[in-house]
Structure 1
């Protein structure tokens, strides 16, 4: 026997905790760094980080998603699990070393990169760290609590370093170092846990690495690598092209808006990560009837979180930017509102692609769709950035992500015959629209302080939204309330 997976509820709890940490700690640091460095300096750092992303793409080579799936399939077989872990770890080390060498050659031979060489060297720590990044093993055997613990430790270290060491605008190299070294610390901690869990298998027989198996892994990894290339290209391309065509300042305005939205997006997409091993395992065991059930829940959870968040950003986007990022970033407000729609678009594409297409072995289709998106994003960026700067980049990103979601929807429809709940959005839109109108027409006309607008609007919106869902008898909310009542009754009876 191999590993017994933790329950979905337990995994979901720890994954949501991890996502909450990924949101909470940056939310603490961002107001400090935006005021300390301003749009231009942060634009330079974010441009450099966009370059790093291309080499991270080579370093990971599509391995993480593939590895989670393969480890999940093998977790009930000690010998197979042992074998797959070692083979995938070897391939990962090779890709990470090659990627690091290529990155170092590039940054020392490009004048623009050499001018800020320390930024690129420090951020490049992320690339070499991937040699030892075995977090996919922990995720594959569904022990998410360990990932949550290492995430918490790393985030605390990151925050402490930022607030104790960064004191002036001249400390931007140190900021890049903190970004790089905290990634390394996180990888190092996950590596220790992964090796310990691996040793717990107590599989004493020696495993000989079969190079034919490495080639077989490469065949499938290549498909994931292509999809990773497409994702990294069209997610990092906007900032790269803005930095080349426009200015670091434009990158600063755009990147901070995108970062805020993608921080919120981690909540929207977190369920997909948890359910990937479970769905992969269900498919192997011919439990295909569970897929639609999981899919239905996932789509509703995306709507539950994404739709009110979008309406909230549309209502108080300017106030959030001014209070949170500072007055230097007020030009980011228009981008922030525009890209808020990505919460819904990417949330759905993540469900369709990660939860359905990949477990069903549709990696080639998945990759093809992402390649189409990358090409379209490049073309639209090329057309719009020279004329519309960061607004053009925002439109390019939205259109590319929309293309991904639509194409993946039709692919999932082919696989399952139908896509449950995808058009059942009215119950989520109605209460969101109600609180949007109240905030825009009443709250913002009565209250003039940006801070107080935010303070009053968020709890008011939450009450209206929750009340609306209960009044409209939205299934997922009613079911959750019933389970909560049952839990409270059990606790009372125990007393």
Structure 2
């Protein structure tokens, strides 16, 4: 399957994976209030650590190994079953530890925490990494569409007031669990019966740990913010941060989807020793993600103040400030996604990749300790942004000799100018019209038009660019 089709499928997958919370935000924010939203986010942040342990880096490692073995059915089967058996082993350890933790150390919100265990059960059976390695994103997407829509309907039917937080937690967990079960139906045609030894299973242990270590660091500045907010501040502050973070991740899915699609392709290309082709992929990917990330960054910051009040309700008005602070992370994560997911990881430079994430995690932890108690969600947002800056700078240092960043800098410069002009126009409209749905729609439409207009003008001026090249390529077709 082509990279373009896989990108669109994976984009749909990433958006749908976050879309349920986003679609239900206007409803749930008014029904559960910041307190209920915060309790769910806080308990969910706890279970995320155990989900991380259950997968032990298998999501990324399994994706890569399946991509390498996919041309040989017997080898593919042996690779898949041995990795999955390792996943089962650590999943049951993680499940046991989680329920012990909840019963003995969770004083508040114990019932909600127990119900979050349904999501952990879904991790036990997760095999989406297998289809990612095969570059078959269609099956993942169709599975998600069905269960996301089903859970969306269930939320609107059953969740009616703050006391229905338990039902909301059950629905969210079951959508993941049933999705994991159904995907197994599609595994059978791709694999054959093979004998698996104890040794073949645990030969994957060491390399999965290598992939697990960077995920610990990533978890620190994606999930620890909510855990620390719940501990040092209030659950309402957790809710305010969580909903801003959800909107950020929806926007982020548009630019990070390419990295997930490119991982198996890059692993396969590096495995064949075709370094010139790999570097060409990197350059094009970096330029494309930059073209997308900059307007999304400026656009999100530009519409936040008018968008959040009508969309989430006045109780979440502080989420707008959090969103503005977080918005530059879109550009930073777009670049670090190219350098990390598409270059360092498939090339096997896990030591360098892991060290950059730990630098970000340490920065985030220090800033959180200093700022969360006095500033709550705002402090957590500053910590996240500081972490992303640290990660991107560190990765730039490690790839400086291999990837010629200077080649994309002129285009990045005029993308930034175009995005800056777009931001000023969007803010003017927002200040003029106030917080309504029509204001946001007008801001988005005008912002897209202004950005594309200035980008095309720059491309005409410099006689080069992605949009112009794509137009020329289409015109040259017979």
Aligned twin of 2:421: 434
Aligned partners of 1:59, 1:433: CA distance in 2, in Å? 43
- The reply to whether residue 198 of structure 1 matches residue 190 of structure 2 is yes
- The reply to whether residue 333 of structure 1 matches residue 324 of structure 2 is no
8 A contact 1:369–1:407 mirrored in 2: yes
Displacement, 1:449? 4.8
Aligned partners of 2:406, 2:265: CA distance in 1, in Å? 19
Aligned partners of 1:281, 1:231: CA distance in 2, in Å? 25
Describe the superposition over 1:14-65 as per-residue Cα deviations: whole angstroms up to 9, x where unpaired. Answer: 2223234335443321111111111111011100010011101101100010
Query: Pairwise CA RMSD of aligned residues?
Result: 1.8
8 A contact 1:129–1:187 mirrored in 2: yes
Within the candidate set 90, 99, 107, 2:102 is matched to 107
- The reply to whether residue 461 of structure 1 matches residue 447 of structure 2 is yes
Displacement, 1:456? 1.5
- The reply to whether residue 176 of structure 1 matches residue 162 of structure 2 is no
Displacement, 1:382? 0.9
* Most deviating of 184-193 and 423-432: 423-432
Gaps of 5+ in 1: 1-5, 491-495
- The reply to whether residue 232 of structure 1 matches residue 219 of structure 2 is yes
Q: Secondary structure at the match of 1:76?
A: coil
Q: Secondary structure at the match of 1:303?
A: helix
Gap change, CA 1:39 and 1:429, over 3 Å in 2:
same
Aligned partners of 1:23, 1:58: CA distance in 2, in Å? 22
8 A contact 2:6–2:136 mirrored in 1: yes
Displacement, 1:175? 0.5
Within the candidate set 240, 253, 256, 1:269 is matched to 256
Aligned twin of 1:55: 50
Aligned partners of 2:368, 2:71: CA distance in 1, in Å? 47
Structure-to-structure mapping, 1:70-109, within 5 angstroms? 70-109=65-104
Aligned partners of 1:111, 1:142: CA distance in 2, in Å? 41
* Most deviating of 29-38 and 364-373: 364-373
Aligned partners of 1:422, 1:18: CA distance in 2, in Å? 30
Gap change, CA 1:138 and 1:421, over 3 Å in 2:
same
Aligned partners of 1:466, 1:432: CA distance in 2, in Å? 9
Structure-to-structure mapping, 1:415-494, within 5 angstroms? 415-416=402-403, 420-421=407-408, 424-441=411-428, 443-473=429-459, 475-485=465-475
Aligned partners of 2:264, 2:431: CA distance in 1, in Å? 49
Displacement, 1:212? 3.2
Q: Tell me the TM-score normalised to structure 1 length.
A: 0.91
Gap change, CA 1:429 and 1:364, over 3 Å in 2:
same
Structure-to-structure mapping, 1:137-176, within 5 angstroms? 137-176=130-169
Aligned partners of 1:486, 1:412: CA distance in 2, in Å? 35
Describe the superposition over 1:340-397 as per-residue Cα deviations: whole angstroms up to 9, x where unpaired. Answer: 1111111111111110001111112212222222222212211111222221111111
Kindly tell me the number of residue pairs found equivalent between the two proteins: 474
Structure-to-structure mapping, 1:36-435, within 5 angstroms? 36-112=31-107, 115-194=108-187, 196-199=188-191, 203=192, 207-416=194-403, 420-421=407-408, 424-435=411-422
8 A contact 1:413–1:419 mirrored in 2: no
8 A contact 1:412–1:419 mirrored in 2: no
Q: Secondary structure at the match of 1:133?
A: coil
Aligned partners of 1:13, 1:145: CA distance in 2, in Å? 9
